[in-house]
Structure 1
């Protein structure tokens, strides 16, 4: 256990029993007690002092209670033109009365599905926050898309967060898609409290043969929020998984995204965008594990940083010995708008196979002064010219969002930020 956070303040949280999953919770607690909170000596959290930030901002480790969300609040936070289904959550607890009944999809409380292999994808021994969630999550939701189901409308996971006295919110989601199924999820969070609180989220996604799964996430919560998100996905033969992760706000945010490619002829795509200002700190850790031959992965993360903000990108691609004929590509590009903004980027490749095509790279720089001068020479103001160049840089990521209403909402949010140059 880290000496920065005393064990006695974790007693109430670790004692949370929830409903069901007794053995799973016990395994999570044990894994957390072995790892403890990460210190500055932890390689995985080398540039993100999240333990210190939690110690400074979180007064207790009691779980935040569920609360009542109104229909008006739900309607006010659905994107204009959105035509999909909505599942509503309050502090991680499912609100069925405000949620859609989705034709062809099973939606249940996790407490009703104690037989599922919770923690078998997002393994608690791999990350201390994943272990902490597994030991003490409350509520949680189970979503199952049956075999051959083609869910044409997206499913919006609309999360409302509200806490007092710096409490802890631990959402837990299990998603499974049967063979030949297709589905799109949009994860959007709404902050209803200015008080600092800690969100520790775990999402496990289990994809079958020839599944098509899209998972989009917009992180735009309050400036005082500390958040850790663990999203881990298994896909089988002939499957495709696409993730788009956009981070715009928060005091300190850690996004862990892992894709395990377990069947041949599969494809994984990870795209990310982070626009940071003030003292916002966002850390993106991605992990693609190629275990079988004839698969492909594509990864592109872009960042724009201003003021005293800090970004971290650590992307890992593993190509196992049996994963011949793998194509894996990774790129991280950043623009710094301030001398005080910092980005630490570390793309990584670990290859044990010999017949592969793999590449990775990173770039960090400032706006092109010649392009800026060119636009200003044609009567465009400096602020607007910067905004146009920045949008040209970031727009590629949002092009990968297939739902038009959500894509337009993200574009509007990004343009608003870039128009003021953050």
Structure 2
């Protein structure tokens, strides 16, 4: 069962060390929500297919680590020598392992504490923790209660940085179970561009639990590409919230790829708060073993003439479980909205499970919206066609599954990252 005494002691220590300011106030408010709501259960509608209670049966640690440059080298993504690398170890930003290449007139990277106590005070007070207005469960609140050593990134007005951002989340589980709770805020200013890729890795054999919240604000004329790659070990668990608010007419493109982990829950919220906003959401979850991957998406159309397109595909094998819950909201003022959603799934095993729930909530009368879902198996005729040409069944299945995933992978625009993900998928499918 959850050890409230442990979390209370950790929270009080953190507040004593940092007693003043807006962040301490957010921590206090969040911890009160955590105490009041507790952990979500199967009776909680948004969590009816996913239980996280088992993640709180361990005694976690959040302290020192021994991660060095040699550990990072093994995890680096292609093109890293031309990227801004932000490294988080056990949920805390590690400046010594990180490397910011973009000049100061293009991009600013500060700790949340320095940002809220300096030039960006008003901006952070307005936008930090806005995700809590949409996500009110205890897991999200727990992250807010432990905001510490996160970063604020500002892509400056009119700038298109030559260097993308790579974010590495490393959990050092070589000596003890680890709880990591990174919290970051990104502000993409007017007429600027951001390309961001996040990846995750657990070192060692101890369990890890990464409870992440990333908040992003996108201004007028800005362009955002966001890629999330999850290929961690079976004893690594994640609950991640990515909350993106388009406050000006802008374009957002996201791709989430989930290949490995224990219990994985992704909350992706897009708030279209300016007329003419456009957003595209793509996802692929390719599951084996006992991996449980739950993708929850929300597109909240608040203003007129917005467009969104969403395509998620799943493949479940062995005893794995895939969950998709996509929710589209069209507010009364959001006339002329075009919003489309599709979820397609393949089951490869009698013991695998898929739960899919597309949702439309429309409060405007002049809109075009659609949703749909499918669950099926590999086409036996296609398999027969390949096998009749001398291709063994296992290799034929790999070819068909690669083709099935291809239209999602094609949405990864940086060629180096796309090739990297294609290799991960091939290796994953080829494991006997």
Give the TM-score range, shorter chain: over 0.9
Question: In structure 2, how many angstroms separate the alpha carbons of the residues matched to 1:121 and 1:178?
Answer: 19
Equivalent runs, 1:157-196 vs 2, <5 Å: 157-163=167-173, 164-196=175-207
Residue aligned with 2:226, SS: strand
Asked if 1 retains the 8 angstrom alpha-carbon contact of 2:264 and 2:294, the reply is yes
Q: Look up the match of 1:12.
A: 9
- Name the stretch that deviates more: 122-131 or 195-204: 122-131
1:239, CA displacement in angstroms? 0.2
Q: Look up the match of 1:59.
A: 59
1:122, CA displacement in angstroms? 4.2
Asked if 1 retains the 8 angstrom alpha-carbon contact of 2:91 and 2:210, the reply is no
Asked if 2 retains the 8 angstrom alpha-carbon contact of 1:66 and 1:90, the reply is no
Q: Look up the match of 1:119.
A: 129
Task: Find the partner of 2:44 among 30, 42, 45.
Answer: 42
What CA deviation, in whole Å up to 9, does each residue of 1:105-143 have, x standing for no partner? 101111212331321244486232221111113311111
**How many residues of Structure 1 are paired with residues of Structure 2 in the alignment?**
414
What CA deviation, in whole Å up to 9, does each residue of 1:335-385 have, x standing for no partner? 000000001000000001111111100010100000000011111111111
Question: In structure 2, how many angstroms separate the alpha carbons of the residues matched to 1:283 and 1:277?
Answer: 14
Question: In structure 1, how many angstroms separate the alpha carbons of the residues matched to 2:87 and 2:338?
Answer: 38
Within the alignment, does 1:80 sit opposite 2:78 as a pair?
Answer: yes
Within the alignment, does 1:365 sit opposite 2:376 as a pair?
Answer: yes
Q: Look up the match of 2:296.
A: 285
The list of structure 1 runs, each at least 4 consecutive aligned residues, that deviate by more than 6 angstroms after superposition, is none
Residue aligned with 2:420, SS: helix
Give TM-score, length-normalised by structure 2.
0.92
What CA deviation, in whole Å up to 9, does each residue of 1:160-181 have, x standing for no partner? 1113543311011110011111
Q: Look up the match of 2:93.
A: 94
Question: In structure 2, how many angstroms separate the alpha carbons of the residues matched to 1:68 and 1:105?
Answer: 29
Note the residue ranges of structure 2 that are not aligned, 5 or more in a row: none
What CA deviation, in whole Å up to 9, does each residue of 1:55-89 have, x standing for no partner? 44x224x4x12424322332332223443221122
1:222, CA displacement in angstroms? 1.7
- Name the stretch that deviates more: 68-77 or 176-185: 68-77
Question: In structure 2, how many angstroms separate the alpha carbons of the residues matched to 1:170 and 1:420?
Answer: 32
Question: In structure 2, how many angstroms separate the alpha carbons of the residues matched to 1:327 and 1:410?
Answer: 30
Task: Find the partner of 2:306 among 279, 295, 320.
Answer: 295
Q: Look up the match of 1:138.
A: 148
What CA deviation, in whole Å up to 9, does each residue of 1:356-415 have, x standing for no partner? 111100010100000000011111111111001000101111111111111111000001
Question: In structure 2, how many angstroms separate the alpha carbons of the residues matched to 1:29 and 1:178?
Answer: 31
CA RMSD in angstroms comes to 1.7
Asked if 2 retains the 8 angstrom alpha-carbon contact of 1:329 and 1:359, the reply is yes
Question: In structure 2, how many angstroms separate the alpha carbons of the residues matched to 1:152 and 1:122?
Answer: 33
Question: In structure 2, how many angstroms separate the alpha carbons of the residues matched to 1:416 and 1:197?
Answer: 23
Asked if 2 retains the 8 angstrom alpha-carbon contact of 1:269 and 1:298, the reply is yes
Question: In structure 2, how many angstroms separate the alpha carbons of the residues matched to 1:188 and 1:400?
Answer: 17
Question: In structure 1, how many angstroms separate the alpha carbons of the residues matched to 2:30 and 2:295?
Answer: 23
Asked if 2 retains the 8 angstrom alpha-carbon contact of 1:154 and 1:403, the reply is no
Asked if 2 retains the 8 angstrom alpha-carbon contact of 1:26 and 1:135, the reply is yes
1:320, CA displacement in angstroms? 0.6
Note the residue ranges of structure 1 that are not aligned, 5 or more in a row: none
Asked if 2 retains the 8 angstrom alpha-carbon contact of 1:166 and 1:195, the reply is yes
Q: Look up the match of 1:69.
A: 67
Asked if 2 retains the 8 angstrom alpha-carbon contact of 1:32 and 1:124, the reply is no
What CA deviation, in whole Å up to 9, does each residue of 1:132-156 have, x standing for no partner? 1111133111111111111233110
Residue aligned with 1:378, SS: coil
Q: Look up the match of 2:236.
A: 225
Q: Look up the match of 2:316.
A: 305
Residue aligned with 2:260, SS: coil
Question: In structure 1, how many angstroms separate the alpha carbons of the residues matched to 2:6 and 2:74?
Answer: 37
Alpha carbons of structure 1 residues 95 and 267: separation in structure 2 relative to 1, 3 Å: same
Question: In structure 2, how many angstroms separate the alpha carbons of the residues matched to 1:297 and 1:80?
Answer: 30
Give TM-score, length-normalised by structure 1.
0.94
Equivalent runs, 1:292-371 vs 2, <5 Å: 292-371=303-382
Question: In structure 2, how many angstroms separate the alpha carbons of the residues matched to 1:125 and 1:100?
Answer: 32
